[in-house]
Structure 1
Amino acid sequence: MSQTPPDALSRVLRGGRVFSSFALRIGAILYDLLLVVSIVFIGSAVFLPVSGGEAPAPGTWTSVAYQLYLLALVYLFFVLFWTRGGRTLGMLAWRLRVVNAGGTPPTLGQASVRFAAAGLSWALLGLGFVWALFDAEHRALHDRLAGTWLIREPDEG
């Protein structure tokens, strides 16, 4: 797992930023889940002509292509938002942002690791997310592995 650089905390927390709470993290996940379901729904409608208008039969090349296509759409959704501004639409609603040790949006590599490791966090029955409840910096397992932090921006008012 990545270790916190000695001066990283001061850089990550500059400007009144604080670590995200677990409840806000879950709120952003639920919001983004609605968007991901929409992306998968629209992506499936676009894919239907490839499969002749029918659901791909399990175990066929079309089924594998369909699954990889949907995974790519979800990957692009998260990674593009994280690298372009550090936040998805769900994170924007809760004033959350993913940052690296420099306090900037993650690199493509960090965002890709975070995406893959978030899959691991889910595969562990959500324990990778529960990790944030016990972590001193409120970092989930995938944030530790990617070298990122989920922070809350201060009120702009």
Structure 2
Amino acid sequence: MTAGLRELTGLRGHYAGSVSRFLGYAIDLGVISGLFGLALAVVSFVASLITGHTVSWNGSGIPVAIAYGCWWFVYFAYSWAASGKTFGMAVLGVQVVSREGATAGPRRAIVRTLVFPLSFLLLGLGFVGILVDRERRALHDVIAGTTVVYTWDARAQRLRFLARDDLAQVPAPVPAQQGPPERERTVTQHQAAPAPDSASNRPASRDGRG
């Protein structure tokens, strides 16, 4: 095992860093926007079939903005309440938990979702805590009483991989040397036995002569 593998440490329960969190959020934005655009396309298609007219949506319109905001809220609030992680967070191996390490729960999830935009509205200053705070807590984490931790263990994963690799390299056991079958041993013993003396086995004559 190399020095790099020996230095590999577990990350389960450690506070997640800024790169993992922002990459997870970028993935979530892609998922939210993609699903929202698909939903608009489906609604437009159904409406055109019903009315017989082409229906298009203004992306900068107020109705679309309100619908997008509601979808954004439902996506994050439900994901954090149900499992503590969104799709992007699951990909990056991070999860929202309470400061005690318990599940976030519906109340914390809703509060965190409501105040999440506040960290952006303050010119991004709400995220400074991720860089300087010991628990890597942003402003919305402080208000909601949550934190973000890693949910996977690099060391345990590597040990499982090495265990599977060792099992794959174990040679198959060589069967023990076995003698010939019982029937062959019997035949061999009969062939090795000395032949009886023909003279000693002849019956004696009646007149006493040999």
TM-score (norm: length of structure 2)? 0.58
- Greater RCO, CA 8 A, separation 6+: 1
Other-structure match for 1:24: 20
SS of residue in 2 equivalent to 1:43: helix
| 1:80 paired residue number | 78
Quickly say closer, same or farther: Cα 1:45–1:152, change in 2 above 3 A: same
Aligned to 2:148: 150
Larger Rg: 2
Looking at structure 2, the residues matched to 95 and 26 of structure 1 have their Cα atoms a distance apart, in angstroms, of 12
Q: Distance in 2 between matches of 1:36 and 1:153?
A: 23
> SS of the counterpart of 1:54?
coil
Distance in 2 of aligned mates of 1:81 and 1:75: 10
**CA–CA distance in structure 1, aligned partners of residues 101 and 20 of structure 2:** 19
Measured on the aligned residues, the alpha-carbon RMSD in Å equals 2.5
Q: Which runs of 5+ in 2 are unaligned?
A: 1-10, 49-53, 158-210
Identity of aligned residues (%): 28
Unaligned runs of 5+ residues in structure 1 are 1-14
Normalised TM-score (structure 1): 0.76
User: What aligned pairs does 1:38-53 form with structure 2 within 5 A after superposition?
Assistant: 38-48=34-44, 49=47, 53=55
Match of residue 121 from structure 1? 119
Structure 1 runs of 4+ off > 4 angstroms?
A: none
Aligned in 2, Cα 1:21/1:69: closer, same or farther, shift over 3 Å?
Answer: same
Give the number of equivalent residue pairs.
139
Change (3 A) 1:66 1:91: same
